[in-house]
Structure 1
């Protein structure tokens, strides 16, 4: 960066507002740049955003489609404690280890649900545990760690 490139941030310097309607010599006299007649020359004139002169506007012509996907959706992978019961005792269970064993395939947050029974002690690391899943894993002698 050079000294010649340094400029104040936008909004730091006040730009004086154009003074309109102050005579012909000022350049924006008489009609103040709004023309002679019509809706846009009146005080408060103009149309609302989306107005198309009485024609049905675009936002009403388009159908309300139900299949637009949410761009901010968080993909969750859910697994029940009943599925975890098939793993050997003392296993470190993470999303990566379950994907390596091809028990889960999706990416994203791992949620452990409480359906099923578990008797083997496992060390489970997941994004979220339901209350019943946490109780069943800890009752079997395992640990629950939220990542």
Structure 2
């Protein structure tokens, strides 16, 4: 699912770390309700990681850089988005995994649920990804 996909309807939701963690908890509940067989372990990077470290950063998506985006997880992401007007249908996506860099990830745990565990990439990894992407929007970060 491309990270450029946008939902239709109200203005796109931007969220802080607190709101992102709430969406992850809701996603964990959806996965539990669907009887997910194994705990899914995601590694995330990008603006979502920056949002966990500063109130100055808002993001509209969570970039997964691991290989754990199963079809069941993608469907559960859509279920959560349908409950929140303005939340992107791909608010959790693996579009950024193509921007991975050759550095140790140095993960930090940001969420642990019953079906979902999420680690953020370390600061050096996130910075290297931002530099490699060359997007003007990232220059101020």
**TM category, shorter:** under 0.3
Higher helix share: 2
TM-score by length of 1: 0.20
TM-score by length of 2: 0.21
- Based on CA coordinates, which of the two structures has the bigger radius of gyration? 1
The higher-RCO structure (CA 8 Å, 6+ apart) is 2
